[in-house]
Structure 1
Amino acid sequence: MSQLVWLREAVMGLALGERARSVLNAGPVPAAPVDGAALAAELKRAVNQFKALAMDAGGTQVAYDRLRSDPAYLAFRIELTPQLQRFDPASLPDRATRLAFWINLYNALVIDAVIAFGVQTSVADELAGLSFFQAAAYLIGGQRCSLNDIEHGILRANRGHPFIPGPQFAAGDPRRAWIIDPPDVRIHFALNCASRSCPPIGVYSAEQIDAQLELAMRSFVDADVTIDPARGEIHLSRIFDWYREDFGGPNGIVQLLRQALPDDERRAWLLQAQRGRLVYRPYDWSLNRG
């Protein structure tokens, strides 16, 4: 399995060229190791500032051009992200802190990469999106960590990309020490990939992470799911298709919907229906530009 991972990385490296090795936080390295709790708090403040400065109230649209030259974003790029180079994620004290940190970092890195790479229309324009999610990366604790690494390696407990065989991290990879296991399936409603069909951008804290993830899941499901009783169809986001194994397959998806939907006619239909056909909507990869 490790050979498969190394082969995959080699192929991706050839396809992406220099982007496969570059990082977006290659500033001066801090002289001393960074305190994990302090860095997590700074990251949370930064994402809060991004929301206040350049996002709509729902967290679905981002004014990237406005953010590009704002002092808060420039401070994030110049002062905060270089600290990641001397940061050991294993020093984060507990699961709640780790979850909040990695979700906030993923969403911040997406915004940073859209601006740095000059994305204008969609993050999926190159290699069906594989280029963006592999090229967008920070140097963390001496290890290159891309969006793919954060999502599929750390937050999904090394289950690997749904379209690429093999785990995200090979045996012996030091980043395996950062894996959050067991994974929390609700992260799929918290990660925003700069596309119109993505869940909204939130700001997560260790103290409230469980309630925030529950709210993110319930809000997304409520806004997304429709039922066609005549056809016996459940229409829902393509996210459920891509990560169906995370959700426990079709039966697990239906069970999640029964729990997450508000007490309305959709939930009533699901509770009494013996089965329904899952119909996944096309994903709108258009840039969530505000």
Structure 2
Amino acid sequence: MKQFLLVVFFLSAFQINAQNNVNYSEVAQDLLHNIMAKKPYEKQVNLLAESTLEDLVSELNTDTKKLAFWLNIYNSFIQISLTENPKEYKDRGAFFKKERVKIAGETLSFDDIEHDIMRKSRVKISWGYLRKYFRPKWERKLRIDGDLEWRIHFALNCGAKSCPPVALFSAENLDKELDFMATEYLKEQTTYNAETKTATSVVLFSWFRADFGGLCGARQILMDYKITPEKPKDLEFKDYDWTLLLGNFRTIPE
């Protein structure tokens, strides 16, 4: 009888552990995949809402894992929020500040995810030059630790017509995926006048200029990614089209 009870105990413990062993990176990918495929996604939303800070800190133990996860989360909940209530986009400032994404025991805003977690606690309106200090525990635990990854600006979709398309990201191939998205987006957004050596490109280069190493760094990126045949002498910016556009999906080739 005693041996039987011990077996039951260990089986129960194993079952509970198996139930709690959720791969949240896969949940985030499944969430975005289902949105793109127009399939139900409530299960993934609920799993994320039930996650704890300890869950995510344990799993997202590299910057690469964090970036892939948060890119998929951000892009997913933009689609969800604006599909459910597109009128919110009339006041974009309030839209991005509103706490709405339940995850890791917190309710986060899109600004929290983009500027605090992914951009290492940057002040939103500072061209990327100013940082916030004395941040809450959840932010310090979940944010990127290493160098700021400028390519996220060409992977985050904020729901506007001028935003980069929505794509699925994975930790395993993130560098290749970010390169593809940056290259394709910049090709679409950039023109070059060889006579004046002037490039006209997306205004994201200006809004977040410190992330790119300043405007000189932005011009270098255009040359390095073969968007322009040489490093432009001057860089001008296109107006950003804030017209709401959902369902702008792109498949990254394998």
TM-score by length of 2: 0.80
Aligned amino acid, residue 258 of structure 1: M
> Residues 227-238 of structure 1 correspond to what in structure 2 (within 5 A)?
227-238=192-203
Distance 2:33 2:207 in 1: 29
1:286: which partner in 2?
A: 243
Distance 1:196 1:285 in 2: 6
Distance 1:202 1:141 in 2: 23
> Residues 129-208 of structure 1 correspond to what in structure 2 (within 5 A)?
129-162=92-125, 167-168=131-132, 170-174=133-137, 175-180=139-144, 181-208=146-173
- Structure with the larger RCO, 1 or 2 (CA within 8 Å, 6+ apart): 1
- Is it true that 1:83 corresponds to 2:50 in the alignment? yes
Which segments of 5 or more consecutive residues in structure 1 lack a partner in the other structure? 1-30, 54-69
The answer to whether the 8 Å contact 1:238/1:281 transfers is yes
Residues paired across the two proteins, number: 227
The answer to whether the 8 Å contact 1:161/1:167 transfers is no
Aligned amino acid, residue 48 of structure 1: H
1:104: which partner in 2?
A: 72
Distance 1:88 1:76 in 2: 15
> In percent, how many aligned pairs have the same letter?
27
User: SS of 2:41's equivalent?
Assistant: helix
Cα distance change of structure 1 residues 251 and 172 upon mapping to structure 2, 3 Å threshold: closer
- Is it true that 1:43 corresponds to 2:25 in the alignment? no
The alpha-carbon deviation at position 176 of structure 1 amounts to 1.5
User: SS of 2:200's equivalent?
Assistant: strand
The answer to whether the 8 Å contact 1:221/1:261 transfers is no
2:189: which partner in 1?
A: 224
Distance 1:194 1:136 in 2: 17
Cα distance change of structure 1 residues 287 and 34 upon mapping to structure 2, 3 Å threshold: farther
Aligned amino acid, residue 157 of structure 1: K
- Cα deviation per residue 1:231-286 (whole Å; 9 max; x = unaligned)? 44211001111011110111100111111125xxx32xx24xxx522111110111
Distance 1:34 1:237 in 2: 44
Which segments of 5 or more consecutive residues in structure 2 lack a partner in the other structure? 1-15, 248-254
Cα distance change of structure 1 residues 159 and 100 upon mapping to structure 2, 3 Å threshold: same
The answer to whether the 8 Å contact 1:137/1:146 transfers is yes
The answer to whether the 8 Å contact 1:196/1:285 transfers is yes
Distance 2:116 2:164 in 1: 20
Please report the RMSD computed on the Cα atoms of aligned residues, expressed in angstroms: 2.5
2:12: which partner in 1?
A: none
